[in-house]
Each structure stands twice: as structure tokens, then as C-alpha cells.
Amino acid sequence: MTEYRIDDLAREAGTTTRNVRGYQDRGLLPRPIRRGRIAIYSDVHLERLRVINNLLRRGFTTRHIAEFFTGMQRGDGLADVLGLEDAVSVPWSSTHTSTMTAIELKELLHTANPRHLARLAEFGLIAEDTDTSGASRKPRRYRVLDTDTIESYSRLVKLGISLDNILDAHARLADELSGVAGTLITAGRRVITDQHHDGWIPSTDDESVWAAELITELRKAGMVTVHNILNRELDRSMSNQLADYLGDAATGDD
């Protein structure tokens, strides 16, 4: 089993040491093993942190999460037996990842501009892979967290589109899709509150199966709907802008 110090654990879980300590204080995270003055964490802590992070992103409060974990500790078996853990804790996004040197990333995107790299990191597309010893803070390698997107942007750069324009478009698209995701999740949450109440936790096998199925089907419906609407709107926008473009070309010829 992998062992972590608190800084390493927080980094692996995508959170902060302050949050880790806060979750411990609230009883959401088991206390670490002590070796002298050093706190040692394990994969159990990492998995629990990932569950907490995903629940928080999906609108649960720390009080709700505490109730959820308390139920599991009582032996309710909500997550393990009924599959709710997979539906809630496994990230919905599924992207290919890779690791490359700073030179390889520069060649791929034709940039080593710190501002570009900072924006890519902000969007969750790359992350610095620094020396774990702390001897050097200069990243020699990068973790590419979404290889497909980075490679598609590389192809656009090679076709002459500036990375600044690409990243600006990415920011606008991410902002608009964040609103779409919020709409979908809110609709699912309304189903639960209409039938039960806000903060409701399943208490029977049937309720837990229903909740897990609702989460899964909501994701599927959202993905299909957004994908198909986007394709239709891309066709419509392409047609309209092509007509404008050709009209301008014809005017220029005159």
C-alpha cells in the first residue's frame, strides 16, 4: 500500500493540506498513522478524499457527506452493496493522460510561454510534475491530463491558429458548458427533493438502487443531449457563417 505525507496526499487528491486537516477535524477522514512527528496516510485516505471531492462538486455539503459516511460505518452498505459509490465517486470525465518533458510539450504546442502554460494548468489540461524531493521547483516534466484535447489544439496550432485564440475559445466554451452541467445536475437534484427532501440519504436497498440509477441515467442523457445539440448548432453556425463569408467574398470581387 502506498504511503503519503500530507502534502503528497493533498496533491494526489487535487486538494490542499488545509482541507485535509479540516476533513479530519470534521470526522470525514480517518486520522493518519503517526511515526514520531510525521503523519502517514494511505490509499484509504486518498480514496476517501476523492469521494469527498466528487460529492462536494456535485452539490453535497460536508454535513451531508458526514451523514453518508456515518451510514456506511453503521453497516448500511449504501455504497459498497448497491453501487452508489461507483455512481457518485468515480469521475464522470474520462480522458487519456500522458507524461512528457517540457521540451516535448513546447514542440507539441509551439510555446514555452509561462502564461500559456498557466492557462492550460488552470483549465485542468496539464499539471507540473516537479521533483518530489523539492530540490528543484522548475518542472522538468508535465502530466498531460487530457491528451486528446492537447493533441487537437496542437493540430490547430500547426494550421496557423494562435494558441491565445484557442485558449480564449476554450475558456468561453468551458464557462458555457459549466452552466449546462449545472442545469442538468439541478434538474436531477430537483427530482430527489420533490420526492424526498434536500439532504436526503437513501435508507433502503430500493431507494439506493433508484438513486444510483438516477445518477447514471442523468449522466447518459446529459452527454447524448449536449453532443447532439452541439453537432446541430455547429452545422447551423457553419452554414450561416459560410454564407456570410461567401457574400463578403462576392462583394470584394465587385
Q: Report the SS3 class of residue 13.
A: helix
Domain interval for residue 7 = 3-57
Could you tell me if 102 and 38 lie in one domain?
no
Residues 135 and 223 in one domain: yes
Q: Are residues 53 and 179 in the same domain?
A: no
Average pLDDT over residues 72-81: 48
| pLDDT of 135 higher than 60 | no
Return mean pLDDT, the chain. 81
Same domain, 108 and 217: yes
Tell how far CA 39 is from the center of its chain: 28
CA distance 17 to 166: 33
Residue 166 covered by a domain: yes
The total number of residues shown for the chain amounts to 254
Band of pLDDT at residue 252, cut at 50, 70 and 90: low
Q: Does some domain include residue 84?
A: no
Mean pLDDT of 28-34: 88
> Are residues 115 and 219 located together in one domain of the fold?
yes
Say what percent of the chain tops pLDDT 90. Answer: 28
pLDDT, position 130:
61
- Output the domain CATH number for residue 23: 1.10.1660.10
Q: Are residues 105 and 34 in the same domain?
A: no
Give residue for cell 449536449.
Answer: 226
pLDDT per residue over 208-219, tens digit each? 778 778 877 888
Give the confidence band of 82 by pLDDT, cuts at 50, 70, 90.
Answer: very low
Q: Are residues 112 and 43 in the same domain?
A: no
pLDDT at site 167: 96
Of 66 and 18, the structure prediction assigns the larger pLDDT to 18
Q: Do 109 and 161 form a contact (C-beta atoms < 8 A)?
A: no
64: number of Cβ within 10 Å = 16
